[in-house]
Amino acid sequence: MRAKVVGAALVGLLAASAARGHFPFVVPDDKGDAAKVVFSDDLMPDTGVNIEKLANTKLTLRDAGGKESGLEWKKGDGFYAVPVPGAGTRVVYGVTDYGVLQKGDAKPFKLTYYPKAVFGDGTAKAATVGEKLPLEVAAEGGAGKARFRVLSAGKPLADAEVTVLLPEGGKKAVKTDKDGYTPEFSGAGRYGVVAKHFEAKPGEHGGKKYDEARNYATLVCDVSK
């Protein structure tokens, strides 16, 4: 009984730590020809947060044929609106350089976000960007099922903390296995995923020194029935 209680407490702590904070999500619209980029703890715009914190994000569109091009956006109320041209399975991915931060007397760290969304088949192989992204979440699965894989420069990342926003609501915190996979999730609809990877890798960025690199990748995709 004691082991079960301790285990439950650890899972609770993991869920709290993994899900805490706001993250950039690229959220496709219903027609699949545009998206909203939000900075939120779910997939809805949070008008209480300054969306301009994401202003230096660079977004790229990979179309169904594999061709890539840059995307422009327009500021809205709590989001940036992004047109997404083309048809078929497309991927929008980006990099948000948040700079070097320091909280109180803690060691400074470099914070980077890697938001991504799939338009069309969320579990398609073509929806994986690969080695050009330092951190990425990709989806795999069949009808009504999905599991997520965390990749670091295209290679599986084991023991990564992942928070999954479920289609029916709520969140679940999990960790990846040795091959970078989360457990499988059942249920069709829209998923949001946040994965984190911290590296004790000192460096300098923008004229500021840091002791740790903190990277977060997000994914928004739809899983069909």
Q: pLDDT, tens digit, for every residue of 94-140?
A: 999 999 999 999 999 999 999 999 999 999 988 999 999 999 999 99
Checking if the pLDDT of 197 tops 90, the result is yes
For residue 142, what pLDDT band results from cuts at 50, 70 and 90? confident
Average pLDDT over every residue of 143-153: 93
* β-bridge partners, 60: 70, 93
Checking if the pLDDT of 12 tops 60, the result is no
Checking if the pLDDT of 85 tops 90, the result is yes
Pairing of strands 58-62, 90-101: antiparallel
Q: What is the pLDDT of residue 11?
A: 40
Checking if the pLDDT of 8 tops 90, the result is no
* Percentage of residues in the chain having pLDDT higher than 70: 91
Checking if the pLDDT of 39 tops 60, the result is yes
Cα 215 from Cα 134, distance rounded (Å): 8
DSSP string of 115-138? -EEEES-TT-GGG---TTSSSEEE
Q: pLDDT, tens digit, for every residue of 16-29?
A: 444 458 999 999 99
DSSP assignment letter at 184? P
Q: Biggest alpha carbon distance in the chain?
A: 56
Q: What is the pLDDT of residue 144?
A: 83
Cα 2 from Cα 4, distance rounded (Å): 5
Cα 156 from Cα 174, distance rounded (Å): 16
Cα 209 from Cα 193, distance rounded (Å): 30
* β-bridge partners, 109: 101, 212
